[in-house]
Structure 1
Amino acid sequence: MIPEIAKTILSLRDADLKLRNELIQKGQLSDGYNPKMAELHNRNAAKLEEIIEEIGYPTADKVGEEASEAAWLVIQHAIGQPDFMKKCHNLLESAIESKQANARQLAYLTDRIAVLEGNPQLYGTQFDWNESGELVPNDYDDLSLVNQRRQAIGLNTLEEQTELLQKQVKIENQSPPADYKKRRQEMNAWRKAVGWVEE
């Protein structure tokens, strides 16, 4: 285990969660991709990429369980860096094959990449607001298959998860975007700009 690197990774996670909490308090989390958050996510991704260049994927045996989980969170949030996320996806797959990482983490990352690329998700881990102002899973292929895949890696059913997340956003006082169509247009323009989808 490399304590200094673990400490650095944990500090990246803590900065991310602190800013997220501030945006929730101000009621700004659902108003598109906040520029401060985008900047922090990109900075965190750049730092984590340096670490990965040095030690490979930060598995629990290299940095400890907590820092490995924190690294995954940083990767999940690096949505402005398609190449970095895809590279980490491949590294995480290899780490799982050698029993050094968690299959649930790969499921979340697989789904996030799929959604950003405009494809249906496999595990139903990614959620967004719909036109009626409800938090619902992003598009997925087939509910029974999604639930089979979720069960295989120890996740609850998609129906249970939907209920949990809908309760959580109420507790956090999160509200849907004021203008659903405008937010969709901005999101699609952003996905093209950073390279998730072609023109």
Structure 2
Amino acid sequence: MNYHNLAEEIIAMKNADLELREKLIQQGTLSDGYSEEMASLHNQNAMMLDKIMDKIGFPTIDHVGVEASEAAWLVVQHAIGLPSFMRKCGALLEKAVNESKASSIGLAYLQDRIAVFESKPQLYGTQFDWDANGKLSPNEVDNWIEVNKRRKLIGLNTLEEQLEVMRKRAQNENQTPPTDFKKRKQEMDVWRKNVGWIK
């Protein structure tokens, strides 16, 4: 198995993802919901990565190197329209982390993202969204104090510090809150039901 070629494929997926994201930022449309173009690219990348994982499991650092392993994580993290794929990857990534072959931070982000889509509280507070007051805030967490303890254990900053980072980033990218929070939440719930996150 030529892992070098697989690593290049995975990195190319990540680069295509980030290039499209940058294009949407430049167009000022990143905050306008989940664009069809982005959804299509995310699904395409996920299917390509799934074929790779059928051969080698989760692309760990020892197989594909740090850059490609982190790129694989990004592809998984962005495959939000494919719940079963994300859950499968979560299990594979957890196994890799337990074997010290992947990042526990990456696993925390993936577990939190899955929890948010399933309407469950986050354990690490890595996922943020606009709240009813038009402020970028962490999605629901189980317990703020416990979250900060867990974050410290895996080398993350505090939730308070991350909140500042996320709000500054949103400002730099000209992201804006939805004009109709209630409507956006309803649309998100319909989408989550349609793709299979919730019943």
Cα-to-partner distance string for 1:122-165 (whole Å, 9 max, x where unaligned)? 00000001122111000001110000000000000000000011
SS in structure 2 of the partner of residue 64 of structure 1: helix
Structure 2: give runs of 5+ residues left out of the alignment. none
The one-letter code of the counterpart of 2:118 is E
SS in structure 1 of the partner of residue 100 of structure 2: coil
Match of 1:74 in 2: 75
Match of 2:97 in 1: 96
Find the aligned partners of 2:167 and 2:188 in 1 and give their Cα distance: 22
Match of 1:132 in 2: 133
The one-letter code of the counterpart of 2:114 is I
SS in structure 1 of the partner of residue 129 of structure 2: strand
Match of 1:151 in 2: 152
Match of 1:183 in 2: 184
Cα-to-partner distance string for 1:14-52 (whole Å, 9 max, x where unaligned)? 010011111111111111111111111100000000000
TM-score by length of 2: 0.98
Cα deviation, residue 88, structure 1: 0.5
Find the aligned partners of 2:30 and 2:132 in 1 and give their Cα distance: 17
Q: Which runs of 4+ in 1 moved over 6 A?
A: none
Structure 1: give runs of 5+ residues left out of the alignment. none
Find the aligned partners of 2:26 and 2:176 in 1 and give their Cα distance: 12
The one-letter code of the counterpart of 2:131 is N
Percent identical across equivalent pairs? Answer: 58
The one-letter code of the counterpart of 2:125 is G
Match of 1:193 in 2: 194
Cα deviation, residue 54, structure 1: 1.2
SS in structure 2 of the partner of residue 128 of structure 1: strand
Find the aligned partners of 2:82 and 2:17 in 1 and give their Cα distance: 16
Find the aligned partners of 1:46 and 1:72 in 2 and give their Cα distance: 14
Find the aligned partners of 1:123 and 1:91 in 2 and give their Cα distance: 19
